[in-house]
């Protein structure tokens, strides 16, 4: 992960004083086990090019007692992608420029605009190219997005899903860096550090003079603050009409849960397996379904399971609530405890698994576990056009996304023994030609089977 700062024109050498880094020396610091380096490849009165990059320690990224057994930490791109982690690691090195406080002799250059080009990457994000352009375009940048060519020894894809972003604009150095330090975490799919009210203060400080006027201001705040409790502090400053409009729109995730709960209720299920249960949001809802006696929440991530336990603990004393049992497990490992249940649920799970591994998973579920019903939900790739996401997947961790026809054909192929009847439904607001954002298949075991 790296950021290259380039500038051309008169007096660009002054930028080195704003960065407070000597062009003749390699800047190198160890920041909590991660190596941060900055060097100049060009530095003259009319041309400057400086690159800052990080060589992280992947073990330091996950070192904490709470996550020490969380295998999902070792299956990610965090140590390679430009992200909130990258920003936190380079902030100290660029602090003088970010705060606009060079030595007094060079203070006049803080407010001087230069013809900058900022190149950074690789970026791994669920945002589309259009959304990325919409973040940087309104604040005066010409945006170029590229994907590196790749060559596999097997037939997979010709271009990487990772992208590199180049921004050109007439800016002060402080402006440019503050734009990056606000918007790179927005591009990131999650933040690795604790988010509280101080994050709002940082956004207001770095966003002064431009963020309030940005057309994607609300989106930037939502992506930056993430947690409902923190974002609500900003939301409460809005006029009542705007808040009412936001509250009236039901989130797609809630619609998925409602649809699944209705399906489980209609089949009078008494025992349910929530595979890939995450933080337990769906399992909690299932716990209030009349007639259910057993819920197994299966999840490979220890940190997610701990959050689920906290969520269950808050409602465990409520009348009629069935407390889910959390199990550490994976779709790839057989578990005799999951056999012969009334329903197994995979809510937005299959698209996170390599496609060639799914047939084995489905055979295990349908022919070894043999539930009375299997409920699958997955994104409808056709609906991405409605989201202006034609060229990217909805989440950086998705291995694929299928059209409705592809999903139906795949489900039919997985039912190769013919033991189940299949029913397909859409979830979310339906588009006239692109269907619903989420598609669902319910496998129902035939009575004579």
- Summarised one tens digit per residue, pLDDT across range 244-303 is 444 445 688 899 999 999 999 999 999 999 999 999 999 999 999 999 999 999 999 888
Separate counts of helices (H) and strands (E) for the chain: 15, 14
- Looking at the fold, whether 261 and 181 belong to one and the same domain comes out as no
Where is the domain boundary, 151, 169, 193?
193
- CATH code of residue 437: 3.40.50.150
Q: What is the pLDDT of residue 148?
A: 76
Nearest Cα neighbor of 262 from 239, 280, 286, 235 is 286
pLDDT, residue 424, reads 97
| Whether 267 and 398 share a structural domain | yes
> Do 22 and 124 have their domain in common?
yes
- H or E element in which residue 53 lies: strand 47-55
Task: Flag whether 220 is in a domain.
Answer: no
Same-domain check for residues 153 and 290: no
Q: Considering the domain boundaries, does residue 243 fall inside one?
A: no
Residue (of 243, 263, 260) closest to 252 by Cα position: 260
Sheet holding 34-43, edge to edge: 27-31, 34-43, 47-55, 2-8, 114-123, 163-171, 142-146
Residues 6+ apart with CB under 8 A from 199: 224, 225, 230
- Identify whether residues 180 and 293 lie together within a single domain: no
Say how far apart CA 198 and CA 230 lie, in whole Å.
10
Instruction: Note whether 327 and 441 are same-domain residues.
Output: yes
Same domain, 302 and 159: no
Of 434, 421, 420, 438, the C-alpha closest to 346 is 438
C-alpha torsion angle, residues 27, 28, 31, 36 (rounded to 10): 80
CB within 8 A of 73, min separation 6: which ones?
61, 62, 67
Distances (CA, A) of 130 to 54, 67, 127, 222, 388: 28, 35, 8, 18, 7
CATH code for the domain in which residue 79 is found: 3.30.1610.20
Is residue 181 domain-shared with residue 259, that is, in the same domain?
no
Q: Can you tell me whether residue 216 is helix, strand or coil?
A: coil
pLDDT band at 20 (very low <50, low <70, confident <90, very high): very high
The per-residue pLDDT for 391 is: 67
Residue 199 lies in a domain: no
Q: Which of 75, 15, 99, 96 lies closest to 50 in space, CA to CA?
A: 15
Q: How many domains does the chain have?
A: 2
pLDDT at 409 over 80: yes
Q: Which residues, in sequence order, are CB contacts of 293 under 8 Å at separation 6+?
A: 270, 271, 322
Specify the pLDDT at position 235.
Answer: 52
Q: What is the pLDDT of residue 238?
A: 52
Whole-angstrom CA distances from 347 to 36, 259, 307, 439 are 40, 11, 18, 10
pTM above 0.75, yes or no: no
Q: Is 439 a residue whose pLDDT tops 70?
A: yes
3-class state of residue 245 by DSSP: helix
Domain that holds residue 281: 252-445
Q: What's the number of CA atoms in the CB half-sphere (13 Å) around residue 389?
A: 20
pLDDT tens track for 350-363: 999 999 999 999 99
DSSP state, 394? S
pLDDT in the model for residue 138: 96
Residues 369 and 259 both lie in one domain = yes
**CA end-to-end span of the chain:** 54
Q: Does 222 reside within a domain?
A: no
Range with the poorest average pLDDT among 134-148, 184-198, 377-391, 423-437 = 184-198
Task: Let me know whether 305 and 415 are in one domain.
Answer: yes
Whether 444 contacts 420, CB under 8 Å: yes
Confidence of residue 43 (pLDDT cuts 50, 70, 90): very high
Least confident of 129-133, 189-193, 223-227, 313-317: 189-193
pLDDT at residue 229, rounded to an integer: 41
Task: Report how far residue 344's alpha carbon sits from residue 394's, in angstroms, rounded to the nearest whole number.
Answer: 24
How do strand 438-445 and strand 420-427 relate by DSSP bridges? antiparallel
What pLDDT, in 10s, does the model give residues 46-64? 999 999 998 876 555 545 4
Q: Is 26 helix (H, G, I), strand (E, B) or coil?
A: coil
- Give the whole-angstrom CA distance, residue 232 versus residue 243: 10
pLDDT tier, 44 (very low <50, low <70, confident <90, very high otherwise): very high
Q: What angle do CA 303, 309, 315 make, to 5 degrees?
A: 150
Percentage of the chain beyond pLDDT 70 is: 83
Q: How many Å apart are CA 449 and CA 427, to the nearest integer?
A: 29
Q: What is the pLDDT of residue 197?
A: 56
Cα–Cα nearest to 123, from 138, 135, 111, 105: 135
- 122 and 264 part of one domain: no
Q: Three-state SS for 340?
A: coil
Query: Residue 116, CB half-sphere, CA atoms under 13 Å: how many?
Result: 24
Average the pLDDT over 194-203 and give the result: 64
How far apart are alpha carbons 120 and 272 in whole angstroms?
Answer: 46
- CB of 396 closer than 8 Å to CB of 125: yes
Distance CA 430, CA 414 (A): 27
Please check whether residues 186 and 272 belong to one and the same domain. Answer: no
Q: How far is CA 407 from the centre of its chain?
A: 23
C-alpha 129, offset from chain centre: 15
Q: Would you state the pLDDT for residue 32?
A: 67
Is 244 part of any domain?
no
The residue ranking higher by pLDDT, 431 or 251, is 431
């Amino acid at each position: 992960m790296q950021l290259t700062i380039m500038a051309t024109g008169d007096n660009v050498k002054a930028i080195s004083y704003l960065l407070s880094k000597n062009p003749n020396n390699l800047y190198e610091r160890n920041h909590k086990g991660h190596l941060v380096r900055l060097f100049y490849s060009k530095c003259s009165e009319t041309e400057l090019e400086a690159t800052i990059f990080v060589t992280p320690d992947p073990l330091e990224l996950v070192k904490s007692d709470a996550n020490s057994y969380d295998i999902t930490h070792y299956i990610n791109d965090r140590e390679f992608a430009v992200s909130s982690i990258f920003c936190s690691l380079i902030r100290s090195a660029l602090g003088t420029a970010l705060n606009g406080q060079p030595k007094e002799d060079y203070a006049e250059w803080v407010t001087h605009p230069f013809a900058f080009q900022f190149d950074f990457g690789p970026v791994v994000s669920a945002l589309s190219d259009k959304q990325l352009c919409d973040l940087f375009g309104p604040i005066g940048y010409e945006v170029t997005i590229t994907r590196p060519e790749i060559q596999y020894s097997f037939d997979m894809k010709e271009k990487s899903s990772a992208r590199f972003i180049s921004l050109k604009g007439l800016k002060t150095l402080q402006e440019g860096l503050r734009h990056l330090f606000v918007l790179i975490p927005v591009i990131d799919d999650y933040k690795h550090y604790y988010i509280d009210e101080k994050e709002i203060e940082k956004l207001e400080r770095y966003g002064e003079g431009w963020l309030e006027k940005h057309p994607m201001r609300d989106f930037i705040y939502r992506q930056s603050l993430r947690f409902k409790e923190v974002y609500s502090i900003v939301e409460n400053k809005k006029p009542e009409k705007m808040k009412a409009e936001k509250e009236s729109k039901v989130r797609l995730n809630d619609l998925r849960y409602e649809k699944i709960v209705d399906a489980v209720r209609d089949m009078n299920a008494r025992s349910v397996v929530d595979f890939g249960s995450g933080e337990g949001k769906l399992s909690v809802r299932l716990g209030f379904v009349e007639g259910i006696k057993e819920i197994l929440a299966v999840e490979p991530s220890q940190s997610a399971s701990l959050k689920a336990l906290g969520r269950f603990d808050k409602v465990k004393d409520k009348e009629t609530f069935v407390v889910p049992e959390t199990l550490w497990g994976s779709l790839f490992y057989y578990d005799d405890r999951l056999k012969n249940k009334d329903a197994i649920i995979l809510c937005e799970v299959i698209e996170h698994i390599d496609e060639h591994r799914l047939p084995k998973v489905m055979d295990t579920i349908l022919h070894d576990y043999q539930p009375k019903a299997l409920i699958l939900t997955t994104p409808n790739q056709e609906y991405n056009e409605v989201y202006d996401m034609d060229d990217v997947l909805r989440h950086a961790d998705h291995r694929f996304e299928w059209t409705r026809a592809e999903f139906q054909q795949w489900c039919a192929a997985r039912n190769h023994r013919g033991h189940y009847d299949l029913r397909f439904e859409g979830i979310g607001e339906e588009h006239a030609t692109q269907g619903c954002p989420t598609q669902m298949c319910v496998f129902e075991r035939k009575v004579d089977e």
